[in-house]
């Protein structure tokens, strides 16, 4: 035995659908999206302006980068 633990499988990527129905995701005023700079009433989980499509795309890209880093042994 080498004493090494087997590697766990990487986390599953998100489905790409976030729940935007909560009132905290909406604002009374428009602000530029943090990703595409288009005006939006939506806010992400951090309270920053973000379009739904932009936020979900960024989340999917982040998950893909994390999975790739995990596969390459960087995590």
pLDDT in tens, 10-47: 555 555 567 888 898 999 999 999 999 999 999 988 89
Please calculate the CA angle 30-36-37 and round it to the nearest 5 degrees.
Answer: 40
Highest mean pLDDT: which of 10-14, 54-58, 69-73? Answer: 54-58
Residue 47 CA to residue 26 CA, distance in Å, equals 9
Q: Please give the model's pTM, rounded to 2 decimal places.
A: 0.67
Query: What pLDDT is attached to residue 4?
Result: 66
- State how far Cα 56 lies from the chain centre: 6
pLDDT band at 5 (very low <50, low <70, confident <90, very high): low
Q: How many CB atoms lie within 10 A of CB 7?
A: 9
């Amino acid at each position: 035995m080498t004493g090494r633990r087997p590697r766990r499988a990487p986390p599953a990527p998100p489905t790409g659908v976030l729940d935007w129905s909560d009132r905290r995701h909406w604002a009374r005023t428009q602000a530029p999206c943090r990703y595409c700079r288009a005006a939006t009433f939506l806010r992400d989980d951090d309270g920053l302006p973000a379009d739904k499509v932009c936020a979900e795309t960024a989340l999917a890209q982040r998950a893909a980068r994390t999975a790739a880093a995990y596969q390459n042994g960087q995590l």
